Structure 1
Amino acid sequence: MEILRLTQNEGSTIKQIAQTIQADPALTGRTLKFANSAHAGARKPIASVSEAVVRLGMRTVGTLSLGFSVLSSSRRGPCEGFDYDRFWSNSLVLGIASKTLCGMTKAAPQEEGFACGLLSQIGRLALASVYPEKYAEVLTTWANGSGKELRDLEQQAFSTDHAEMTAAMMEDWRLPESFQIAVLNQIDDHRKAPSTTTPSDVLTLILQTANQIARICVEDENSHAEPIKKLMACYDQIDLESSGLADLCDEVAEQWQTWGEILNVNTRELPKFEEILEKSREAEAEATVDANVETEGESNPHPKSLRILVAEDDPLQLALITKLVKAAGHSVVGTPNGREALRTALETNPDVVITDWMMPEMDGFELCRSLRKAKFGRQLYLIIMTSNGEEERLVEAFEAGADDYLVKPLRARPLQARIRAAVRMIELQHEVELEREHIRQMTAELAVVNRKLEQAAFTDALTALPNRRYLIKRLKEEWSIISRKGGQLSCMLLDIDRFKSVNDTYGHDVGDLVLKKVAAVLQTVTRDSDVVCRQGGEEFVVVCPGSDLQSAAQGAERLRSKIESETLGYFEQFEHPITVSVGVATRESLMRDEDVILKAADEALYRAKETGRNRVCCANDKPVEKISKIQDSLRSLFQ
């Protein structure tokens, strides 16, 4: 996000962006590889990040960095029904296909097309991360149906869908508006061919075409009939030679496999597109003859698999382990020594590490210790291989951080048994993490509920002003501040004149309107620093920090005058004047606590009522002294 911020800041320099990229070795390597690829426009090998930024452009580098960072940090998550490996495999095809099509149509720079395609379905990942359990239910109900069906189910469950989420995230990242429009329209299977006069319309067609290419690459070959038909329909709407479709798909598939190795994303070998097309035609012909065979195959979800990193300096042993691990349905990355394995582990965050004991540069024990020191390495399942099964050496291996061991020469059954044990352990870790996430969500929800309850406890339901409970709490706080730091503090106590007659004559509903009207005037006329509260009934209190008696009295007179000038304005029959009597008191040296100032204001209010109402009266020294003595007597009486 720092790189994205820098690239969007006109004052940023290439040096600043290059230094930020270089802080992440994995991002540095991927940026250089992308800049040096044949389709990045590089004319000679690029050896520095600064030159890569110049070649690609700052905005492109920011967008690419965002895509690579999201990919690296979101390989796994709490949603059990969401196939993260399949998602990123599909997203990588989308990015490559969009990049290639942008180069053919000149609709947008190729690098921006890559980022747009890569992130075009990021809203699905967001929903899976924020609502893991609920989104798993949505995916189960969807069962790999159409894009429109998935969006409808998401709208029912969350009042939004992944396309809207993607557009919102792109807007937050300040990506081009054409990206946002395109992702909103890409999944509409029944959308009419758009006018190709705007970049967003062309980009929409590109994403729709890329979606069908991705389905052909990722889904089982029995499911190719539908995406091939849609691919041809989408491709026809783009002003390109139809004969180039096969070459396009073959090029995308080849780049998909190449970039899959670079980014450690699952891919697979694919036949040429012409062969895929021929097989699809044969399958469709057979389905037409046999009416009992379904015309559309269903996608077979990829089995859950672990990402396993192997460190072995013997090429033959490495090839053997790789073959056995892949046969068990897991993905594998091989490295020739411990140092290379440590670097790869930092980039790819594997689930399991299988390491040989004796290796050049860094042996298996040192690798285990280094991994265990890292935060992510504490949850890795580490298996160490040794040709020496002596007890002392095995104890040393476990003390270095290994979870299990294998004795060479390796055999298939012991290796697969260890991997099954790793699967069980990782599933348990996943369950614990889900439980922790559930607890975190519950804690966050409880915090929100508690804040709402606290707000409700301190708020008057009718006027939405702070209530008496809040008044007591806030006045005590202000009193404590003045006692420690010095300063002025005044209080106004307001009472609506002859309010009982309003209720008796017009009803309590009109009385409520009067209370709301007075509350609204108080909020409008008082200062921002004043605290307006409804004490109860027709009484209101205004706490005035920093005000002496004179300024508080002037403020009280403004309130009284403003309220008197207001009319209820709801019906003509209401002729009752709305006036208030106000008592004002300020903190004095004789006052023992905050209760005294309220009592003094109440005495002043009483005098205002006694002397004719609709006026302001202030407390003087004598009543305050009398009040303090009365309170002292009451305290001694109850002690």
Structure 2
Amino acid sequence: MSADIDLARLLGGAILPSPAWRRHWLATLCQQQLPLDELAEQLGGDPALSGKIIGLANAGVPPGERRHAAVNAAMLAAIGLPALRQAFAAPAVSTAACEHFDAQRFWSHSLAMACAARVAGDALQLAPADELYSCGLLANCGQLALATLHPQEYGQLLGQYGDAARTRLLCAESQRFGHHQLALSATLMRGWGMPDILCDAVLCHAAPPGFGRAGRMTELAWLLKLADSFADLILRNGAGSRAPALATARVLGMDAEYMETLLRHSNAEWSEWCEILEPQAHVVPCRTRSGTRRAASQVFSEFI
């Protein structure tokens, strides 16, 4: 039996939750008139708010003009601080807990995948790096939607299938809810005005089409699959099998050594965000990556 998904409310940003402290912290930064480039970096750690802000910006873009695909200072300036304050001040969504859904892992994995998509995508020059970052960040927001909209039913599915059987989980999600998590992610991104090619890549990145089909979209889907594998390794501190990541990397024309280089880059970028992800980080004024970004020569921190 299929459960209804309220796409209209999802697209309006009324359901997807962000940690309450995070919204409060961003509202405080707006009141302090933090430089917009630093505010954009703060937003870059939150899939739900990033999607909502991109959608807010694109709602004001005239037909035929280029739409926004990444959070940056120019976009925030176009929205204006009053509208941003209103977005950040929206009350936190009150929902039941979803058993077996690890919210902290979801936030961490989303950010790790975003960093990996930017690093690997920049190396392969498949698309603008900031747009690939957004794509990686938002690629799994459909799972957050399922856990929020149907916590009891989705918790049961997670308990039955778990992350270790993702293909089976996606099929079960489609049967139960009419949409699987990646289809929901792509629908949300499309509703927020993201380019179709990025939305299509998100939709099929768990099982990309044969390389060379559908042109650049296929390459982007394989890139997201690699970023997903990198995120899993990053959250395990580099432990575990490299086989899934290496198989994907070879499709993209990388050897094992180059893949490991990009993985170290991705891990180094993600590590700069670790303290920002912690709830207690909001008590420190204006903590952003802008003031602490490492020199390129120091970026190759090895896994321990």
Shorter-chain TM-score: what band?
A: 0.5 to 0.7
Letter in 1 for 2:277: V
- Could you tell me which runs of 5 or more consecutive residues in structure 1 were left unpaired when the two chains were aligned: 6-20, 36-56, 267-306, 310-332, 334-339, 348-639
Which of residues 122, 145, 157 is equivalent to 1:103?
A: 122
> Is 1:201 paired with 2:210?
no
Aligned partners of 1:102, 1:146: CA distance in 2, in Å? Answer: 27
Matching of residues 34-45 of structure 1 within 5 Å: none
Q: Following TM superposition, by how much is the alpha carbon of 1:341 offset from its aligned partner in structure 2, in angstroms?
A: 3.1
Q: Distance in 1 between matches of 2:272 and 2:91?
A: 21
Q: How many aligned residue pairs are there?
A: 227
Find 2:178's aligned residue among 151, 159, 165. 159
Structure 1, 72-81 or 132-141: larger mean CA deviation: 72-81
- Equivalent in the alignment of 2:3: none
Residue identity opposite 1:150 in structure 2 = L
Pick aligned residue for 2:96 from 75, 78, 83: 78
Deviation at 1:27, TM superposition (A): 8.5
Question: Do the aligned residues in 1 keep the contact of 2:98 with 2:148 (CA within 8 Å)?
Answer: no
Looking at structure 1, the residues matched to 128 and 257 of structure 2 have their Cα atoms a distance apart, in angstroms, of: 24
| 1:77 CA displacement | 5.6
TM-aligned CA distance change 1:166 to 1:198, over 3 Å:
same
Check the 8 A contact 1:89/1:265 in 2, yes or no.
yes
Residue 247 of structure 1 is aligned with which of 236, 261, 271? 261
When residues 242 and 220 of structure 1 are mapped into structure 2, their CA distance, relative to the original with a 3 A threshold, is closer
**Counterpart residue identity of residue 98, structure 2:** E
Task: Give the residue type in structure 2 aligned to 1:79.
Answer: A
**243, 252, 263: which one pairs with 1:229?**
243
Q: 2:143 aligns with which of 110, 120, 124?
A: 124
User: Once the 2 structures are TM-superposed, how far is the Cα of residue 158 of structure 1 from its aligned partner?
Assistant: 0.8
TM-score when normalising by structure 2: 0.64
In the superposition, relative to structure 1, how do residues 232 and 26 fare at CA in structure 2: closer, same or farther (>3 Å)? farther
1:170 aligns with 2:172: no
Query: Structure 2 CA distance, aligned partners of 1:164 and 1:109?
Result: 23
SS at match of 1:59: coil
Shift of 1:93: 0.9
What is the distance in 1 between the residues matched to 2:171 and 2:117? 26
| Contact 1:63 1:115 (8 Å CA) reproduced | no
Does structure 1 residue 31 correspond to structure 2 residue 31? no
Partners of 1:218 and 1:118 lie apart in 2 by 15
**Identity value in percent:** 20
Residue 26 of structure 1: how far off its partner (Å) = 6.9
Cα deviation code 1:583-624 (max 9, x no counterpart): xxxxxxxxxxxxxxxxxxxxxxxxxxxxxxxxxxxxxxxxxx
Counterparts in 2 of 1:25 and 1:207: CA distance versus 1, 3 Å: farther
Other-structure match for 1:336: none
Q: For residues 305-350 of structure 1, what are the alpha-carbon distances to aligned partners after superposition, in whole Å with 9 as ceiling and x for unaligned?
A: xx4x3xxxxxxxxxxxxxxxxxxxxxxx4xxxxxx838589x9xxx
Aligned to 1:145, what secondary structure does the other structure show? helix
Q: Per-residue deviation at 1:102? A: 1.4
Distance 1:61 1:245, change over 3 A: closer
Q: Deviations over 1:185-240 (max 9, x none)?
A: 1112xx55321662211110100101111111124766x12xx1111110001134
Letter in 2 for 1:216: L
Residue 260 of structure 1 and its aligned partner are, at CA, apart by: 2.5
Q: Which amino acid aligns with 1:123?
A: G
Greater CA radius of gyration, 1 or 2? Answer: 1
Residue 95 of structure 1 aligns with an amino acid whose one-letter code is A
Give 1:294-309 correspondences, 5 Å limit: 307=279, 309=280
Map of 2:252 onto structure 1 = 238
RMSD of aligned residue pairs (Cα, Å) = 3.8
**Between Structure 1 and Structure 2, which shows a larger proportion of strand residues?**
1
Paired letter, 1:253: N
Q: Cα offset for 1:24?
A: 7.9
- Normalised to the residue count of structure 1, the TM-score between the two structures is 0.32
Q: Evaluate the alpha carbon distance shift between residue 341 and residue 145 of structure 1 in structure 2; reply closer, same or farther with a 3 A threshold.
A: closer
Which of 205, 210, 228 is the equivalent residue of 2:227?
A: 210
